[in-house]
Structure 1
Amino acid sequence: MKLTLAFLQIVLLLPSFSFSIRTNYTSIFSFGDSYIDTGNLVILYGGLATTAPDALITKPPYGMTFFGRPNGRASDAEALGLPLLPPSLAANQSFRRGANFAVGRATALERAFFVDNGFKAITSFNISLTVQLGWFDALKPSLCSSPQECEEYFAEALFIVGEIGYVDYGVMLLAGKSVDEVGSHMPQIIGKICAATEKLIDEGAKTVVVWGIPPLGCAAGNLVLFARQTGGELEPDTGCLKDLNQLSKDHNAQLRRALARLAGDGSGVRIIYADFYSPIIDFAVAPERHGFDAGGAIRACCGSGGGRYNFDLAAQCGMPGVSACVDPSAYVDWDGVHLTEAANRRVADGWLRGRYAHPPILSTTD
C-alpha cells in the first residue's frame, strides 16, 4: 500500500491545479545538516542529557511552538513541511516508509579536509554527506533484497538532498578565512552535492529534491560574527551582509547549473531545485507583506544580546537564562541560524507549489 505523505496531503483541501500532482511516493529518504535533522545529532551525543555546545537543541525553548518540548531538531519547525521521518540512527525503528540521515553540523566536505587544514570549529563526529550515504547503503538490505527490487522500490521514493554547505563555509569563516578564500572551495562542495545526487539516481531514484543554501548574510548570527571580517557592507534593501549573500548566490548558481547537466542526461529522472535563498530575501525585503514584524526578519527570536540582531555567541538559544520572544510567528530567524516554524511553513508552501522550486514539488512535469 502506498503512503500518501503528510506534506502532500494538504493538496486534497485545495482547488485543482493546472499541473499533474503526484501523492503516491512510498517513502522519503533525506540527507543534510541541522535544517532537516530529526534527531541524529542527539543520538550521537547519547540522548537529551548532554551539555555539549553542539547539542543546545536538546534544551528549552527549542520545540516550543510545535512539540511543546525539545525534540532534537535545530529548527523550531516541521522540517520545512516534510513528514516526521525517523532519524536513521534510531534503534528499533522501521524504515520502510523512509529515514532521515541528516545530522546537525554536517558538512559536504569530508571531516579530514577540515582536520588536515587546521580548522578547529568542526564537530568531533564523522557526519559528512558521504558518511550519510554510507549509512544509507548499510540500511538498504533491510529495505530490499536484490538490485532489481531495490531499483523498483527507490523509483517510488522521494529523495531529498537537504541544505548542505552552510557549515562548510561557516567553519572556514570562523577560522578567519576571507570570503574569497572560502569561495575557492565552492567547486569541491558543489561536487560533493552532485556526486550524492548522482549516486541516488544510480540507486534507482526517479525524483530528487536538492536544496540550495540560504542567504548567509541574513542570519543574525552571521551578521554579528562576520560583519568586520566581510567589511560590514549591508545590502540596502535587506540589511544583510552583501559579501556573504554573494557567496550564497554564487553557490546556488553553480549548483543549479550542475544539476541541470545531471537532469539533461536523458535518464528520465526528475531533479527539483529547492530555492532556499529567494524566500528569505523576500522576507527580509518586505517582512510585513509576508506576515512578519518589521524588525523580525534578521533579528533572532531566541537569543540574547538585544540590539538589532539579538545574538551573542556566549548566550545562545538553549543556554541557561536565554529565552525566546513572546511570538515566534512574528520572526523569520529563530536562533541566529535556523528559521522559525512560521518562516519554514512559508518556504515549504513555495516549494510545494513552485514559487521557490524548479519545477514545483507537486508537479510531475518540468
Structure 2
Amino acid sequence: MKRIALSIFSFLLFLLQIQPTKSYKYNSIFSFGDSYTDTGNLNVYVLSKNLSISVNTDKYPYGQTFFHHPADRFSDGRLILDFLAEEFGLPFVEPYLAKKGCFRQGANFAVAGATALDPTVLKQISLAKPAIITSLNTSLNFQLKWFKELKPSLCHETKECRKYFDSSFFVVGEIGLNDYNNMFINGLNVKQVHHYVPKVVDTIANAIKGLIYEGAKTLLVPGNVPMGCLPTLLTSESDEQSFYDHRTGCIRRFNMLSRYHNYLLLNAIKELRVKYPHAKIIYADYYKPLINFVRFPKRYGFTSTPLRVCCGKGGKYNWNTSELCGMPNVSACHDPSTYIFWDGVHLTEAAYHYIFNSWLKGPYAQPPIQDARLQ
C-alpha cells in the first residue's frame, strides 16, 4: 500500500509539473486612442460642448450585428477592445467621459477623431485650421490628463498603485491616423507629411513612458492601418493607374506612409523595452492582416470586392461624403460579416475579430497577447 501511495504521489507531482504556466489575471483595462477604440466618448463630448457635429454612431445600422442597436461604436458590432474585455472576463470598457459608475475594472479614454499631436501643434504644422473633429481637446495628452484625474479614485500610495496596475491591461492606440489625415486636408503632400511621422511616433512613445511611470506594466500598442486601402482616401484620388498597387487596389504612397509610421513605432517600442525591462510592451500589427484581407478576401470569407464598404451609398466603393452611414436612406449590406470595411474608415466586427485573434495568438503581435499573459 505504501508503494502504491508513493506511486500516486509521484504521478500527481508529474501532472503538476506539466501543467501550463498560469495565465496572468487582468482585473481592469485602460484604453487610449481614436475611433478604432472609442466606445462613446465622442458622443458625450459633442453633447457636453453643444457642438454641431453629427457623429451618427447613435443611429442605426451602427451596432446592428452584436448589440442590435446603436452602441456608440464605429462599427456594426464589437471592436477589438470589446473582444479583449471578453477574453479577460471583464465587462466592456466604459467611456470615461460618460462618468457612469465605478471605473475599478477600467476606463476608455479614446475619442473618435483624436490625434497624437495636440491641435495647437497641428495648426502650426499645417498653417491652417485643423479639421473640426481634430481641433477638439481630445488628443493623446488630454486623454493622459483624464487618466491622471481618475487615478486617485483607484489608488493612492505608490505601493498600492503598483499592485493595482500590475493587474491592469493598457491599450495605447491605434492613434496617428487622424494626424496624417488632418495634414492632407490642409494641403500637405505625402512627402511633407513623412517629415512629421517621427514627431507623431515620439508623442506615442512619450505617452507609453508616462503610463509606465504611473504604474502600467502591460501595454498593447497597435500600429497604423494601411491608409491607402481606406475607401475615404480611395474615393478622393484620381484614376491614374500608377498610383495604385495592382495586388490590392490600394494607393501606394499612403500605404508607404503607414509602413513608415509602423517601422518607427516598432523601433521606439524596442527601445522602451530595453529601458523598462519590467514592462511588457506588445506591438500589435493592423497593417499586415488588413493587407491580407484585401489581397485574399475569399480566404477569410470576405466578398470579392474587398474595398467596398458595407454601410454607405454610391460610387465604386459604395461611399461618398454626402451620404454617410447612419444618415436617412443609407442602408447596410445584407451580411456585414462578408465585408472588411463597415463605413469609409472603420472595420466590421468580423474584420476586427480576425485581427484580434491574430493579436491574441499570433502572428501579428510581438509578443502575442496570450504569451504576454504568462507569468
Instruction: After TM superposition, give the deviation of residue 19 of structure 1 in Å.
Output: 7.6
Partner Cα distance (1:269, 1:198) in 2: 10
For the Cα contact (< 8 Å) 1:63–1:73, is it kept in 2? yes
Partner of 2:308: 299
2:333 matched residue in structure 1: 325
**Structure 1 counterpart of 2:309, which letter?**
A
Return the letter of the residue paired with 1:278.
K
Alignment map for 1:182-197 (pairs within 5 Å):
182-197=193-208
Contact 2:231/2:344 (<8 A) preserved: yes
**Aligned equivalent of 2:108:** 100
Q: Which residue of 2 aligns with 1:22?
A: 23
| Superposition map of 1:229-308 within 5 A | 233-265=243-275, 267-295=277-305, 297-307=306-316
Query: In 1, are the aligned partners of 2:165 and 2:215 still within 8 Å (CA)?
Result: yes
2:61 partner SS: coil
Equivalent residue, structure 1, for 2:224: 213
Q: Quote how far apart the aligned CAs of 1:182 are.
A: 1.2
Offset of 1:354 from its aligned partner? 1.4
Residues in 2 aligned to 1:229 and 1:169: alpha-carbon distance in whole angstroms: 22
Percent sequence identity is 44
Partner of 2:209: 198
Whole-angstrom CA distance in 1 between matches of 2:293 and 2:22: 28
CA contact (8 A) 1:304 1:323 kept: yes
1:109 to 85, 105, 117: 117
- Match of 2:171, SS? strand
Aligned pair 1:86/2:94, yes or no? yes
Residue 82 (structure 1) shift: 2.5
TM-score by length of 1: 0.89
Partner of 2:99, secondary structure, is coil
Instruction: Kindly provide the CA deviation profile for residues 72-130 of structure 1, in whole angstroms up to 9, marking residues without a partner as x.
Output: 11122322122210111122311001000000000000011233431341424200000
Superposed CA deviations along residues 219-278 of structure 1, whole A, max 9, x for unmatched, are 1111112x2399861111111111000000000000000100000125321100000101
Q: 1:92 to 1:195 in 2, by over 3 A?
A: same
Query: Residues 190, 71 of structure 1: CA spacing in aligned structure 2 closer, same or farther, 3 A cutoff?
Result: same
Q: Which amino acid aligns with 1:109?
A: L
Matching residue of 2:73: 73
Q: Distance in 1 between matches of 2:205 and 2:21?
A: 27
Q: Does the residue aligned with 1:208 lie in a helix, a strand or coil?
A: strand
- In structure 2, how many angstroms separate the alpha carbons of the residues matched to 1:214 and 1:168? 13
1:215·1:244 contact (CA, 8 Å) conserved in 2? yes
State the one-letter code of the partner of 2:206. Answer: A
TM-score, length-normalised on structure 2? 0.87
1:35 counterpart residue number: 36
Paired residue secondary structure (2:93): coil
Cα distance between partner residues in 1 of 2:294 and 2:156: 49
Which one has the bigger helix percentage?
Answer: 2
| RMSD, matched Cα | 2.1
Q: Relative to 1, partners in 2 of residues 1:52 and 1:19: Cα closer, same or farther, differing over 3 Å? A: farther
The 2-side partners of 1:20 and 1:290 are apart by 32
Residue 283 to residue 18, structure 1, CA distance change in 2 (3 Å): farther
Secondary structure (helix, strand or coil) at the match of 1:267 reads coil
